[in-house]
Structure 1
Amino acid sequence: MEFSQQVASGLKQLRKQYQWSLDTAAKKTGVSKAMLGQIERGESSPTLNTLWKIARGYELSFSQLMALTAGTEGNRSGTLYQPAGSLLRVQPLIPYDPQMKIELLQLELMPGYMRKSTAHEPGVIEHVIVISGHLSILSEDVWHSLEPGQAFHFDANCEHGYRNDSDLESTIFHNLIFYPQGRVQVKSNGS
């Protein structure tokens, strides 16, 4: 099944599980009712930024949302996500662990790509390790340049960002995200 169709089916099922109207889902996620409706009908493929907003609104980690939309068990890793036209790929390496309150993602930024992320809830901490390429991280309004093997951690409760300064090569990094409040546990479509 195509990515946008998987997301459509998974989000519709998730909203039903929460017993939310489209209005409620829009208020909780910060994504417009019209956009959520288009995504649920498979008429629009959400950006990764939109998927992050949806995950936060449902109090899920990114890997939980992706597992639900793919209809897989929450402990499965390895699926690579890249919405149509996106210059960013995300792959959960360690899906959300409710006991440790963490998830580990591998992100690949295509040449020249920059992404700014809105603030997460208080206490969320991101630990970033550069695997290949050159990565700049925006934290507290300052860009920090990192090389392969270097690590950086920051409180993610303010605007932050990731940038590949190269025009030639992609940048790959691991992002360990700690959620102090934990995440909601929901059943996937496949269970």
Structure 2
Amino acid sequence: MTQLDKNIALNLKRIRKSKNMSLDMLAERTGVSKSTLGQIERGESNPTVSTIGKIVEGLKVPFEQLIYDRKEIMVMPSPEEAPVFKEKEGQYRIYVMLPFDASRNFEIYQGELDGKAQMESESYGEQTWEYLTVVSGEIELILDDQSFHVERGSSLYFACDRKHVYRNAGEEKAVCNMIITTQH
């Protein structure tokens, strides 16, 4: 059995049960026989694309939800234990809190900027957005010729398909969370 077949088997059973559906009910909704659905859930059958299409339509879930490897829980390290993505001694540190994974469409970083420090960041590519939340301190974000002041507890989002600069507007260390996502 391939990993894809395992994913479909596990996800089909999990989704069906989460909707409180029996195999009979799912068969009625999808037009796929109860025995075929049972074989798929047990990993004894390789469903065709047509069968998968009927199943996702009957369950009313996206195709991806049926085929991807579901990671139930992923515990990420604290910033002190997280890998450093980018660093400039005495200026800033960027930690990888949740790395990019093909099954997700985002990644999360935590940034620390020392007093009055600044960090330049290049473009992340077309159709890429950043959601920035300041956890402590205050950060000035500079995009092109515009400047945005973000205080503790505030957030903003922007297209990060161009060079941008983060500047600590205060004397104390500023901490921020950055979620980077690509839209298709």
TM-score by length of 1: 0.50
Q: Is the 8 A contact 1:77 1:92 kept in 2?
A: no
- Asked if the contact 2:140/2:166 (under 8 Å) is kept, the reply is yes
CA contact (8 A) 1:134 1:147 kept: yes
Alignment of 1:12-31 (within 5 A): none
Match of 1:163 in 2: 167
- What is aligned with 2:120? 116
How far 1:85 sits from its partner (Å)? 2.3
Report how far residue 117 of structure 1 moved: 1.6
Percent identity over the alignment is 21
- The residue aligned with 1:99 is 103
Give me the whole-angstrom Cα distance separating, in 1, the residues matched to 2:136 and 2:97.
Answer: 16
Going by fraction, where is strand more abundant, 1 or 2? 2
Matching residue of 2:182: 179
Q: Aligned with 1:97: secondary structure? A: coil
Alpha carbon RMSD of aligned pairs, Å? Answer: 2.0
Give the aligned length: 106
The SS at the match of 1:174 is strand
SS where residue 99 of structure 2 aligns?
Answer: strand
Moved more, 132-141 or 101-110: 132-141
Question: Which residue identity does 1:146 align to in structure 2?
Answer: V
1:85-121 per-position Cα deviation (integer Å, ceiling 9, x unaligned):
2521122222213222210111000111111222221
Structure 2 residue aligned with 1:154: 158
CA contact (8 A) 2:92 2:118 kept: no
Residue 142 (1) aligns with residue 157 (2): no
Q: Structure 2 vs 1, CA of residues 89 and 118 (structure 1 numbering), >3 Å: closer, same or farther?
A: same
Structure 1 outlier segments of 4+, above 6 Å: none
Higher relative contact order structure (alpha carbons within 8 Å, sequence separation ≥ 6): 1
Match of 1:85 in 2: 89
Task: Write out aligned runs for 1:53-92 (5 A).
Answer: 77-78=76-77, 79-81=82-84, 83=87, 85-92=89-96
Letter in 1 for 2:170: S
- Letter of the 2:121 partner, please give it: S
Change (3 A) 1:104 1:116: same
Structure 1 unaligned blocks of 5 or more: 1-74, 182-191
Q: Distance in 1 between matches of 2:96 and 2:163?
A: 22
The 1:120–1:95 alpha-carbon spacing in structure 2 relative to 1, beyond 3 Å, is closer
